[in-house]
Homo-oligomer: A and B are copies of this chain.
Amino acid sequence: MLKAKVTVTLKKSILDPQGSAVEKALKSMGYPVDEVRIGKYMEVTLPEAARGNATEMMHEICRKLLSNPVIEDYRFELEDKE
């Protein structure tokens, strides 16, 4: 089996109010942080049969369902799952 580890992040130009809230919370707790940006993480397990076109399929899945290409970037890595 294959596992795709997908990370979706807001594009740099897009405001991230959730990240700002966490940043403020950390500062109020006394931690010296400069910035916090929040994204999503997904693990998609694929069957062995999908190995041949896994990369193209994952690009399609990321574009169509897992990310919003207007405001988000995605990246993923494929690895073998024991």
Work out how many copies of this chain go into the complex: 2
Contact B42 A37 (CB under 8 A): yes
Q: How far is the CA of A19 from the CA of B52 in the complex (A)?
A: 24
> Bound state CA distance, A71 and B79, in angstroms?
25
Type the 1/0 row for A30-52, where 1 means its CB is closer than 8 Å to any CB of B. 01111111111111111101100
> DSSP class of A's interface residues: helix, strand, loop or mixed?
mixed
Q: Which of B8, B29, B37, B49 has a CB less than 8 Å from the CB of A32?
A: B49
Min CB gap A79→B, angstroms: 14
Residue ranges of A at the interface with B (Cβ–Cβ < 8 Å): 1, 7-9, 19, 22, 25-26, 29, 31-47, 49-50, 57, 60-61, 64-66
